[in-house]
Amino acid sequence: MKILIVDDHALMREGLGQLLAGMYQNLTLLHAANGAQGIAMLLPHRDIDLVLLDYQLPDMTGLDVMRQLAKIQPGITVLMISGSLNPYLMQQTLSAGACGFVQKTGNTQALVDAIDLAINGGVAVPPALHALRTSGGSVGTNTLSPRQESVLHRLMDGQSNREIAQELDLSEETVKTHVSAILRYFNAENRTQAALTALDFGFRSPNRR
């Protein structure tokens, strides 16, 4: 069994490592402190059975890392770990291909169950999202595209449509279309509200560290 832990907090990595050591024999643990290290770690270790991936990393989001890992090894098993309790973020993570979403504020048994489920090919749906689904609530099954996320990051940095268009080599009309989609996604009336809501949902601009 080979598991990669990607988290910028050393204590979190050590704690997860101790937990995993008690769960599996013949365990090989790999550690990475940021997204870039995690991606690089996969190159010489194509036999990784599971990636435990923190959503908030110093250099990129867990979603960004997961997409890069999938390019290197399609179908890789990734379990997202986050302190966020927001069901929109949970839904987006699962829709992007994660095999589960675990809250850092949850109990140890919930984490153990999620890891075991992921290892055995299941999907660990967090209780908050499961309750919302079964109650008939909606979290929005659509997700932001990678391009829309790029626009969102720059919107969160306070860039104008013109500045975003120049940086991403897009037309202003295209940027305007993306911004409109972002406002709809967050049910926001303006850019400021969208940026603030995005922060609540766990989105972080790569330029804000």
- pLDDT(132) > 60: no
Q: Find the mean pLDDT for residues 3-10.
A: 95
Residue 136's region, left for phi above 0, alpha for psi from -120 to 50, else beta, is left
For 108, the token pair is 């140890």
Give pLDDT, residue 96.
Answer: 82
Residue-level length of the chain: 209
Q: Please name each of the domains of the chain with its CATH number.
A: 2-134 (3.40.50.2300), 146-200 (1.10.10.10)
Instruction: Tell me the C-alpha distance between 109 and 150, whole Å.
Output: 36
- pLDDT(142) > 70: no
Three-class secondary structure of residue 167 per DSSP: helix
| Structure confidence at residue 130 as a pLDDT band (50, 70, 90) | low
Q: Find the mean pLDDT for residues 112-140.
A: 70
* Average pLDDT of the residues of the chain: 86
